[in-house]
Structure 1
Amino acid sequence: MTPDPQSEPTKPEKSGATPAHIAEGEKIPLVMRLYGVLCTVLGVFTVFAVIIFAALMAWALQTDPSMIIVGTDPTLPVVLLVISYLVTIGNAVALLVFGHSLRKSRRRNAVRWSHVLIGTSVIQILLKIMLQGIDTTLISDAIQLLILVAISVTVDPSLRQERALKKRMQDMVDREAAEEGMLGRDLEGKGYIELNFFNLFWVFVICCFLGLIIETVYHFAVVVPGEIQDRAGLLFGPFSPIYGFGAVLMTVALNRFYKANPVIIFLVSAVIGGLFEAATAWFMEMGFGAVAWDYSGSTIFGLFPDPIAVIFGGRTSALFMCMWGALGFVWIKFCLPWMLRLINLIPWKIRYSFTTICAVLMLVNGVMTLEALDCWFERLSGIPQTTPVEQFYAEHYDNDYMAHRFESMTITPDDSARVDGAGRAANVVAGEEALEDAADATFEDDAA
């Protein structure tokens, strides 16, 4: 019997080229290569600019530090500036390599370095907020971040095809899991919950809400009995994001240990929650001079000072680390299964589109909260509100509104680590003091 020639498998080319190799060999579109040239130029310029600016800052620190630093602790802004410069230099070097990869159409290499640049860009944005607040200089960083994300997912067609295939397969697996009542679970058995964006976003949202309720009840029953205080952490809605982020971190860290010894779960939750609480308090104080909690006077059973509170400057304490540990244990052991059943009530056909819309709204809420805090900081610093954005927040979210919305928060501009904002505030205060001195001198002359 003669075999059908059409049924014979096609022999591979001698070159052994695969679709991935073919995609790697194709030239990157001209627009991306031009962007690579721009990245190279920007990287070279940034290196020289940082060197010159660092020299100017060193000269200013030696001659008159008050020109650039205002605050109760001038050491911290200098440390943050040094970190910012190091990150900027690293970002510039990454831009050079990334630009070269784009110009030479080295797709895989460009994807790797785009991921590096995404990380350094996020760090730069956080450092800028702590040093300068929220201003127009963040726009260019945000645009660069969006471009890098777009390039990272489009520059390599083979990766895009792999992701599309994986998504189709995941949809099939999800449908089968939904029919078996296992939707959202880790089907490989490595952990309890599947760590995807859908699950983690709703963990964040639900715990933002539950955390606010717990904190409000604790304040009402323990801190100031009978007093109801607004403990919200965002401009809109009943949300306290520190609990949301803490729950996400605990879920990621403890997902594979949900069957572990309760003591291990408690200790890991306590460490994660306490460190995150301290880091959040530090960022808010450095960036906005804001303090929402302070455990500096905490003691252990009233016998001796709380060592945890002393080490972290009152930003967390042994008591609250234990509370984080207890919350983490209850969350992993009891609440996570309930939460998974709750979010699976979202209809299948709209679950991803609905989640995307809610994520965008939550992101807008977070950005507007930071902007409102920044404008509040500037108003308390005596900085004139001249831009349309500042005037918008001054009109709709003035000092009284912010003080009522964030009842547990106080802002002290001198406690921040800002350079530009604090310097402008100091100039305003210095100008007012000079005017007062001149007025006093004139009054004394008239009296004489």
Structure 2
Amino acid sequence: MQKEFVSEITLEIAEDKPDARMPLIMKVIGALLILGGALAVLAMAAVIVGSGMGMRQGLFADDSVLSFILYWVLVIALGYAAAASVVLGVRLVRGNRRRARLLAESVAIALVVAFGSDFMLEGISASVWPLALTAIILIVAHVVVDPALSDERRLQRQLRMMETRDEAEEGTLGLDKSGQGFIELDFFNIFWIFVVASVIGVVIESVYHVLVVDFGHYEDRAGLLFGPFSPIYGCGAVLMTLALNRFHKAPVWTVFCVSAVIGGAFEYFTSCFMEYCFGAVAWDYTGTFLNINGRTNFMFMCMWGALGVMWIRWALPALLYVINLIPWQWRYSVTAVCAVLMVADCCMTLVALDCWYSRLSGLSPDNALEWFCAEHFDNTWMENRFESMSIVPDTARR
């Protein structure tokens, strides 16, 4: 009780009270966010005006409806990120951390949306790097600003370690203390859910292919360059957890329906993203019962529903037990190192896929990164690694 009281008091001070001792680095970051956000607002205004003139002149007549929608999603997401960055920068310069974390997270979400839209329209282009730089600035700001004072950070770290030790001894580590959900939706739990589900997904896909699709023939079902990871299953498990965490005591049919809708929508979006970015087709359900553009169908939505029930009722408690086997003294350092490696793996996978697409489109490498991929991840290597995937450049929307 005493630890909880101290923790609440320090968090209240850290989040609600403007602080004159804001570190200089945060003021510098705030100034950079103001400058960059203001320039981006002007740039977005110019883009909107130019696009409006282009539409009146029929410049978008040959573009697909989806490309048109993606373009405006990009504009809106960047516009919000720019405006919110200015607000966040002003708060940091003034030493006000109130709701700074929430604001930074909303900007990060907008940047993810903008990155996805830009990637589907242009692939890895010059516009991606400013987004990446802004994301790095936001991560630095997020880490330092909550809370910013070194004494508060040290106290919070000590309290967290004490609470972690006590919960590990009591067997309640990772559970939602409020009782509203099953687990705490913190970075540690979410990250390891993604990793473990990604591995389990590869095992399920491989066994299903060997026993059902092509009996006796093994096919590599990994979705990243390195390691036995299928990020589709990892992201699906995270979405299921976020959506069903408060439904862990709900009736089975409720969990089934929610899981089916979320899984089908996620499968559809992933298929669109892969095709529009790289012309890649990893599955096609055309001709099956109640399929939606061949990207998902009734049978697989039912499978997602069944997986959701199994996940929230059986797999998630077992998974929580497994990830809590990581010694509590090491959990934060081990997770940080593994998270960096996973992010690097995901980024390199996107780069390698983009270079693979460019080579199949007849384009020669024109920078050091593309030459590196051409030498180490050539077409043969990519075909062997992503055996279930085929790339048809003509179907991309770039």
Return the TM-score normalized by structure 1.
0.77
CA distance in 1, matches of 2:174, 2:397: 43
1:50 aligned partner: 44
1:436 aligned partner: none
CA distance in 1, matches of 2:316, 2:301: 20
CA distance in 1, matches of 2:387, 2:371: 23
2:231 aligned partner: 241
Give 1:324 shift: 0.9
Query: Partner amino acid for 1:143?
Result: L
Correspondence 1:342-357 to 2 at 5 A? 342-357=322-337
Judging changes above 3 Å, is the alpha-carbon distance between structure 1 residues 41 and 208 closer, same or farther for their aligned structure 2 residues? closer
Judging changes above 3 Å, is the alpha-carbon distance between structure 1 residues 99 and 192 closer, same or farther for their aligned structure 2 residues? closer
Q: Is the 8 A contact 1:37 1:103 kept in 2?
A: yes
Judging changes above 3 Å, is the alpha-carbon distance between structure 1 residues 361 and 42 closer, same or farther for their aligned structure 2 residues? closer
1:400 aligned partner: 380
1:302 aligned partner: none
CA distance in 2, matches of 1:379, 1:397: 11
Give 1:102 shift: 3.9
CA distance in 2, matches of 1:364, 1:162: 31
CA distance in 1, matches of 2:385, 2:262: 28
Question: What SS does structure 2 have at the residue aligned with 1:348?
Answer: coil
Give 1:347 shift: 2.6
Pairing 1:340–2:334 present: no
Q: Is the 8 A contact 1:153 1:160 kept in 2?
A: no
2:80 aligned partner: 90
Match of 1:226 among 200, 216, 220: 216
2:131 aligned partner: 141
Q: Is the 8 A contact 2:248 2:312 kept in 1?
A: yes
Give 1:121 shift: 2.1
Give 1:179 shift: 2.0
Give 1:233 shift: 0.8
1:360 aligned partner: 340
CA distance in 2, matches of 1:256, 1:332: 10
Query: Partner amino acid for 1:403?
Result: E
Give 1:30 shift: 5.3
Q: Is the 8 A contact 1:291 1:411 kept in 2?
A: yes
Give 1:144 shift: 1.6
CA distance in 2, matches of 1:203, 1:31: 34
Judging changes above 3 Å, is the alpha-carbon distance between structure 1 residues 195 and 162 closer, same or farther for their aligned structure 2 residues? farther
Q: Is the 8 A contact 2:17 2:96 kept in 1?
A: no
CA distance in 2, matches of 1:138, 1:24: 34
CA distance in 2, matches of 1:31, 1:62: 46
CA distance in 2, matches of 1:95, 1:179: 42
Question: What SS does structure 2 have at the residue aligned with 1:293?
Answer: coil
Q: Is the 8 A contact 1:289 1:412 kept in 2?
A: yes
1:78 aligned partner: 68
Give 1:182 shift: 3.0
Question: What SS does structure 2 have at the residue aligned with 1:345?
Answer: coil
Correspondence 1:42-441 to 2 at 5 A? 42-57=36-51, 65=59, 74-108=64-98, 111-155=101-145, 157=147, 165-299=155-289, 306=290, 309-310=291-292, 313-418=293-398
Judging changes above 3 Å, is the alpha-carbon distance between structure 1 residues 154 and 351 closer, same or farther for their aligned structure 2 residues? closer
Q: Is the 8 A contact 1:23 1:158 kept in 2?
A: no
Cα deviations across residues 379-403 of structure 1 (Å, max 9, x unaligned)? 1111221211101111111111111
Q: Is the 8 A contact 1:257 1:265 kept in 2?
A: yes
Cα deviations across residues 191-222 of structure 1 (Å, max 9, x unaligned)? 33333222222222221111111112222222
Question: What SS does structure 2 have at the residue aligned with 1:238?
Answer: coil
Query: Partner amino acid for 2:383?
Result: A
Give 1:155 shift: 4.0
Question: Alpha carbon RMSD of aligned pairs, Å?
Answer: 2.9
Query: Partner amino acid for 2:208?
Result: Y
Question: What SS does structure 2 have at the residue aligned with 1:360?
Answer: helix
CA distance in 2, matches of 1:204, 1:123: 20
CA distance in 2, matches of 1:101, 1:215: 48
Q: Is the 8 A contact 1:232 1:240 kept in 2?
A: yes
Q: Is the 8 A contact 2:168 2:328 kept in 1?
A: no
Query: Partner amino acid for 1:121?
Result: L
Query: Partner amino acid for 2:18?
Result: E
Return the TM-score normalized by structure 2.
0.86
Query: Partner amino acid for 1:260?
Result: A
Identity fraction in percent? 46
Give 1:274 shift: 1.3
Judging changes above 3 Å, is the alpha-carbon distance between structure 1 residues 225 and 171 closer, same or farther for their aligned structure 2 residues? same
CA distance in 1, matches of 2:216, 2:43: 57
Give 1:55 shift: 4.4
| Gapped regions of structure 2 (runs ≥ 5) | 1-11
Give 1:415 shift: 2.0
Which segment drifts farther, 280-289 or 159-168? Answer: 159-168
Q: Is the 8 A contact 2:23 2:148 kept in 1?
A: no
Judging changes above 3 Å, is the alpha-carbon distance between structure 1 residues 79 and 227 closer, same or farther for their aligned structure 2 residues? same
Judging changes above 3 Å, is the alpha-carbon distance between structure 1 residues 51 and 271 closer, same or farther for their aligned structure 2 residues? same
Judging changes above 3 Å, is the alpha-carbon distance between structure 1 residues 382 and 337 closer, same or farther for their aligned structure 2 residues? same
CA distance in 2, matches of 1:43, 1:400: 43
Q: How many residues align?
A: 387
Which segment drifts farther, 353-362 or 98-107? Answer: 98-107
CA distance in 1, matches of 2:120, 2:99: 32
CA distance in 1, matches of 2:259, 2:149: 36
Give 1:136 shift: 4.3
Judging changes above 3 Å, is the alpha-carbon distance between structure 1 residues 105 and 405 closer, same or farther for their aligned structure 2 residues? same
Give 1:378 shift: 0.6
| Gapped regions of structure 1 (runs ≥ 5) | 1-17, 300-305, 419-448
